[in-house]
Amino acid sequence: MTTSSSSLVAAALLISVACFIAATSNYYVEAADPPLVQGMSWSFYTSTCPKLESIVKARLQEVFKKDIGQAAGLLRLHFHDCFVQGCDGSVLLTGSAGGPSEEQGAPPNLSLRQEAFRIIEDLRARVHKECGRVVSCSDILASGGPSYKVPLGRRDGLTLATRAATLANLPPPTSTTGQLLTALAPKNLDPTDVVALSGGHTIGISHCSSFTRRLYPAQDATMDQTFAGNLKAACPQAATVDGTVNMDIRSPNVFDNKFYVDLMNRQGLFTSDQDLYTDSRTRGIVTGFAVNQSLFYEKFAVAMVKMGQLSVLTGSQGEIRGNCSRRSTGVESVLESAVEEAVEILAGF
């Protein structure tokens, strides 16, 4: 049982969000275990890489101490990986010439933090040094989340997603709630999941270009006047540089429920966020999370586990990358298969 890069990515991402919540709120999420996809397990690396979680957690604590904003970058990387072609680490793959792939070069992915890619590769190197190539990049990516149990066992994908597939599966910030629910329902994400996952915007920053159409030429009527004025000051219409602002104005460096308080006060940055409070189908969920942070944490954990199992590759599917940004070579794949076969034989004794 080797560890794939997608597994590694998934592990890193979910653990990182866990580290972040623990670091900023000292909260551990106790939630009922959702059903797992065949091939996934809560204890997948218990025998092959027992130190996986401690390795990832220790490194991410160092990273977040230097720059807490990297938690948002890792979380967004995981979202963009899973929504397009499933949680297979394909977003980590570069093009054949070493530059951005068609998936990485699609507009929604151009603003993914480059440091997030480097963090995942650094984690892969540390984990593989300790355990050998047994943890996938997609599991590492999924291990960077709030402090809750993370199912692992993903394998890394063999193919890149196309630009068209990327655009079709990543709802833009201009989406209405109806469009979000329609787009994510086929991924088995219900309205509560959608509202909970949107809570990831409680940390991180956004470029002005992602929301200025709500300011110019006419201001969005659902936006608080003072909030809009502050955004216009930070993002003037004649600006030549695409500036940035915090997505959560109340506690941008803390993973909490203040994002939902923002929405109730008409201070959501994106149409896709603010409309969650405007739309009657999701307004009650937003209100529930705004007044009950524990409920938000619980539902966020459930939604992350569901999202983290979208179209995963398990068992003998896919591969385990020796470098998260590129496919394994033919020789590496042969060696990997030989190691897997040896492990399976030994497991029988």
Q: What is the pLDDT of residue 144?
A: 53
Instruction: Give the residue ranges of the annotated binding site for heme b.
Output: 201
Q: Which residues are annotated as a binding site?
A: 81, 84, 86, 88, 90, 103, 171, 201-202, 248, 256
CATH 1.10.420.10 range(s) for the chain read: 177-304
pLDDT above 90 as % of the chain: 54
Q: Give the per-residue pLDDT at 220.
A: 98
What class does CATH assign to 177-304?
Answer: mainly alpha
Average pLDDT, the chain: 85
DSSP class per residue in 151-167:
-B--BB-SSPPPHHHHH
Query: Does 187 have pLDDT greater than 90?
Result: yes
The active-site residue out of 78, 80, 128, 207 is 80
Q: Boundaries of CATH 1.10.520.10 in the chain?
A: 5-169+308-347
Question: Are 9 and 138 contacting, i.e. CB atoms less than 8 angstroms apart?
Answer: yes
Tens of pLDDT along 26-49? 555 555 677 899 999 989 889 999
Structure tokens at 114: 């480059």
Known catalytic residue at 78:
no
Q: In the prediction, which pLDDT does 147 show?
A: 59
Which residues sit in the known binding site for Ca(2+)?
A: 81, 84, 86, 88, 90, 103, 202, 248, 256
Tell me the whole-structure pTM to 2 decimals. 0.87
Q: Residue 238: which pLDDT band, with cuts at 50, 70 and 90?
A: very high
Give me 9's structure tokens.
């990515």
Which tens digits make up the pLDDT trace of 107-149?
A: 888 889 999 999 999 999 999 999 988 888 888 777 654 556 7
Pick the CATH number of 5-169+308-347 from 1.10.3720.10, 1.10.1060.10, 3.40.50.300, 1.10.520.10: 1.10.520.10
State pLDDT tens for residues 73-113: 988 999 999 999 999 999 999 865 455 677 888 888 888 99
